[in-house]
C-alpha cells in the first residue's frame, strides 16, 4: 500500500489523535460550562470566515490538533449557557461519542446487510418512541435526516393514501388540485413539501391563528369550505407541535376531530415539541397527537442527539410502506416486496447514517428519564423566563409561551423611535459582541427577540444577565 494510504488508515495514529481529540473536547465542554468569559460564537462575517479558510487551505504546514482547536473557536458554541438561539440541542456527550463509532463503522443502511445491527436498533428506537407518544402496536416508521425530510416523507404517504389513485406512478394531473390545510405559523418545510409534490402555492391552504399564534380551530370549517369552493381537493391537515417561531402548540385534539369528520389525513409536525408527550407535566400540550396518521419528531431538537435524526411515525404502519414505490433492481428488487428491514424502500435516503444508534445508547445508559428531565427543565425555564419578562415594565412578551421558545421585545417607555428597528439592533449587537446568541422573529408584523432555551446549563442567572445587558446597551 502506498505510504499516504497506510498513514491515513494507521490504527495507532487514530488512537493517538483520538485521545488528544477527546481531551480537547473535554476541555471544551468544561470551558463552555463555565461560560461567561468565552464568546458564544465567532464575530466574523461570512466573507471574513471564507477568506480565513481559503487562505488556510493554501498554507503549507498542518497540525491536526491545531486545526481542531481553530475549528472549535470559529464555531457556534451550542453547549455555552448563553447559547439561546435556534432549536438545536447541545448533544449529550455520550451521543457524540457514539456518533464517532457510527462514522467509523459507516454502515450505510439502505438494506439490512449494509447495517445489520443499526437496522434492528432503528426499529427498536422507533417502537420505543411510538409507545411514548401513545401510538398503537401496529404503528411503524422510519428514521430520516431531519424534520424537513420527515415532513416530506409523512406528506408523501398522505398523498398516496388519500388521493384515490396511484399518484406515485401516474403523477399529479390537473383533475386533482390537491391541497393541505395548515396554520400560518407552520415551518416552511411543510409548504416546501407541498411544492415538491407539485401542488404549488395554492396547495397550502392557510388557516388563521389566534392571539397565541395557534391554529384557530373555529376557522377550520370555513377554511375548508372556501378551499373546496375554489376547486381544491384538501386531503390533509397539518398540526404544529409546536410552531417554530413562537413555540405554541396547535389544538391537536380539535384538529384530530376535524380530520376524522372530513376524512382527512392528520399529520403532526412535532419536530420540536412532539417529545413533550413523554412527560407527565407537558403531555397535555400534545393531546390529540396520538390520533394523528403521521407524526414527525426530531431527536436533534428536544432529545439530546446531534443533528440530524428524525422519527417519522405512522399510526397505521402500512402507510410507511406506501410512501415510495420505486423499483431498484440492484438494491430493492422490483419494489413490490418491502420487508421492514430494507430502509431504502421507505426512506428518502438510499445510504443513510446509522441514525438510531446514539439514541439507543442514551436510552440504555440513562433511561427514559434523561429525556423527561431535559424537556421538563427546558420548558420550566421557558415559563420562568416568560414570568420574568412579564414582570418588567420595559419588556413585553409576544405570546405566553407553551414551552422553551420565548419571544419578547424591549420597549422602554421613553423610546420614540421604531421598536422594530430597536429590537433588530439588539439582535445585531448580540451577534457582534457574541455574549449571548439570540435570534429574532416577526410576530404580527412586529420584530421580537427570540430565545430557544435548549441548553440544560442555561439558568435564570444567564437570562437575568441578558435583560441587564440589553438595558445597559440600549436604554
The binder of ligand PLP chosen from 95, 183, 189, 191 (CB under 6 A): 189
- The minimum distance between CB 308 and ligand PLP, in angstroms, equals 5
DSSP-derived 3-state class of residue 443: strand
Piece in contact with ligand PLP (CB under 6 A), picked from 145-153, 156-164, 284-292, 423-431:
145-153
Residue 250 binds ligand PLP, judged by CB under 6 A: no
Specify the residue, 33 or 195, whose C-beta has the smaller distance to ligand PLP.
195
Q: In this structure, are residues 321 and 336 in contact, taking their beta carbons and an 8 Å threshold?
A: no
Round the CA-based radius of gyration of the chain to a whole number and report it. Answer: 24
Task: Give helix 147-162 / helix 188-196 axis angle, nearest 10°.
Answer: 50
DSSP-derived 3-state class of residue 418: coil
Residue 146 binds ligand PLP, judged by CB under 6 A: yes
Peptide bond into 242 cis (omega under 30): yes
Piece in contact with ligand PLP (CB under 6 A), picked from 71-79, 140-148, 282-290, 434-442:
140-148
Residue 252 binds ligand PLP, judged by CB under 6 A: no
For the beta sheet containing 446-452, the strands, ordered from the edge strand earlier in sequence to the opposite edge, are 395-397, 405-410, 446-452, 439-443
- The minimum distance between CB 268 and ligand PLP, in angstroms, equals 10
Q: State the cell numbers at 434.
A: 457574541
Name, in order, each residue with C-beta under 8 angstroms of 465's C-beta and a sequence gap of 6 or more. 82, 436
Residue carrying the nine cell digits 417529545:
275
Residue 298 binds ligand PLP, judged by CB under 6 A: yes
Q: In this structure, are residues 437 and 82 in contact, taking their beta carbons and an 8 Å threshold?
A: yes
DSSP per residue, 410-426: E--TT--S-HHHHHHHH
Residue carrying the nine cell digits 406512478:
169
- The minimum distance between CB 299 and ligand PLP, in angstroms, equals 10
Piece in contact with ligand PLP (CB under 6 A), picked from 30-38, 154-162, 265-273, 319-327:
265-273
- The minimum distance between CB 216 and ligand PLP, in angstroms, equals 18
Specify the residue, 245 or 320, whose C-beta has the smaller distance to ligand PLP.
245
CA 186, 190, 192: angle at the middle one, nearest 5?
A: 125
Distance CA 58, CA 51 (A): 11
Residue 87 binds ligand PLP, judged by CB under 6 A: yes
* Residues in binding contact with ligand PLP, number by CB under 6 A: 14
Specify the residue, 405 or 470, whose C-beta has the smaller distance to ligand PLP.
405
Q: How far apart are the first and last CA of the chain?
A: 67
The binder of ligand PLP chosen from 125, 129, 238, 271 (CB under 6 A): 271
Specify the residue, 139 or 454, whose C-beta has the smaller distance to ligand PLP.
454
The binder of ligand PLP chosen from 122, 269, 290, 402 (CB under 6 A): 269
The binder of ligand PLP chosen from 91, 147, 251, 317 (CB under 6 A): 147
Q: Which residue ranges make up the site for ligand PLP (CB under 6 A)?
A: 87, 146-148, 151, 187, 189, 244, 269, 271-272, 298, 308, 310
Amino acid at each position: 500500500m502506498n505510504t499516504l494510504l497506510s498513514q491515513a488508515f494507521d490504527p495507532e495514529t487514530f488512537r493517538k489523535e483520538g485521545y488528544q481529540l477527546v481531551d480537547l473536547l473535554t476541555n471544551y465542554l468544561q470551558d463552555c460550562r463555565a461560560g461567561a468569559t468565552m464568546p458564544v460564537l465567532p464575530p466574523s462575517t461570512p466573507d471574513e470566515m471564507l477568506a480565513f479558510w481559503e487562505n488556510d487551505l493554501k498554507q503549507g504546514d498542518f497540525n491536526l490538533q491545531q486545526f481542531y482547536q481553530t475549528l472549535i473557536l470559529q464555531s457556534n458554541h451550542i453547549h455555552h449557557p448563553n447559547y439561546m438561539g435556534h432549536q438545536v440541542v447541545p448533544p449529550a456527550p455520550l451521543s457524540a461519542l457514539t456518533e464517532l463509532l457510527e462514522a467509523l463503522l459507516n454502515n450505510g443502511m439502505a438494506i439490512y446487510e449494509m447495517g445489520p445491527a443499526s437496522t434492528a436498533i432503528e426499529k427498536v428506537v422507533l417502537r420505543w418512541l411510538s409507545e411514548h407518544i401513545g401510538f398503537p402496536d401496529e404503528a411503524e416508521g422510519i428514521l430520516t435526516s431531519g424534520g424537513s425530510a420527515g415532513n416530506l416523507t409523512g406528506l408523501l404517504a398522505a398523498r398516496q393514501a388519500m388521493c384515490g389513485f396511484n399518484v406515485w406512478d401516474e403523477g399529479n394531473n390537473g383533475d386533482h388540485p390537491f391541497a393541505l390545510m395548515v396554520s400560518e405559523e407552520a415551518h416552511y418545510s411543510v409548504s416546501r413539501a407541498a411544492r415538491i409534490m407539485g401542488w404549488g402555492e395554492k396547495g397550502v391552504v392557510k388557516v388563521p391563528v389566534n392571539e397565541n399564534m395557534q391554529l384557530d380551530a373555529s376557522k377550520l370549517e370555513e377554511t375548508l369550505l372556501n378551499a373546496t369552493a375554489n376547486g381544491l381537493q384538501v386531503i390533509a391537515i397539518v398540526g404544529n407541535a409546536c410552531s417554530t417561531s413562537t413555540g405554541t402548540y396547535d389544538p391537536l385534539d380539535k384538529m384530530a376531530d376535524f380530520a376524522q369528520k372530513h376524512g382527512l389525513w392528520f399529520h403532526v409536525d412535532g419536530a420540536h415539541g412532539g417529545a413533550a408527550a413523554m412527560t407527565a407535566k407537558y403531555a397535555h400540550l400534545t393531546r390529540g397527537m396520538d390520533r394523528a396518521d403521521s407524526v414527525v419528531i426530531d431527536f436533534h431538537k428536544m432529545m439530546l442527539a446531534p443533528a440530524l435524526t428524525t422519527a417519522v411515525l405512522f399510526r397505521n404502519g402500512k402507510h410507511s410502506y406506501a410512501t415510495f414505490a420505486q423499483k431498484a433492481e440492484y438494491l430493492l428488487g422490483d419494489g413490490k416486496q418491502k420487508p421492514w428491514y430494507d430502509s431504502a424502500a421507505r426512506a428518502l435516503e438510499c445510504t443513510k447514517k446509522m441514525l438510531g444508534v446514539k439514541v439507543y445508547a442514551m436510552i440504555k445508559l440513562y433511561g427514559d428519564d434523561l429525556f423527561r428531565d431535559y424537556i421538563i427543565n427546558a420548558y420550566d425555564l421557558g415559563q420562568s423566563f416568560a414570568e420574568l419578562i412579564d414582570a418588567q415594565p420595559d419588556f413585553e412578551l409576544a405570546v405566553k409561551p407553551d414551552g422553551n421558545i420565548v419571544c419578547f421585545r424591549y420597549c422602554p417607555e421613553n423610546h420614540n423611535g421604531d421598536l422594530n428597528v430597536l429590537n433588530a439592533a439588539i439582535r445585531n449587537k448580540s451577534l457582534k459582541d457574541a455574549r449571548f446568541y439570540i435570534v429574532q422573529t416577526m410576530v404580527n408584523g412586529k420584530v421580537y427577540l427570540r430565545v430557544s432555551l435548549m441548553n440544560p446549563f442555561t439558568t435564570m442567572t444567564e437570562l437575568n444577565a441578558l435583560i441587564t445587558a440589553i438595558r445597559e446597551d440600549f436604554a
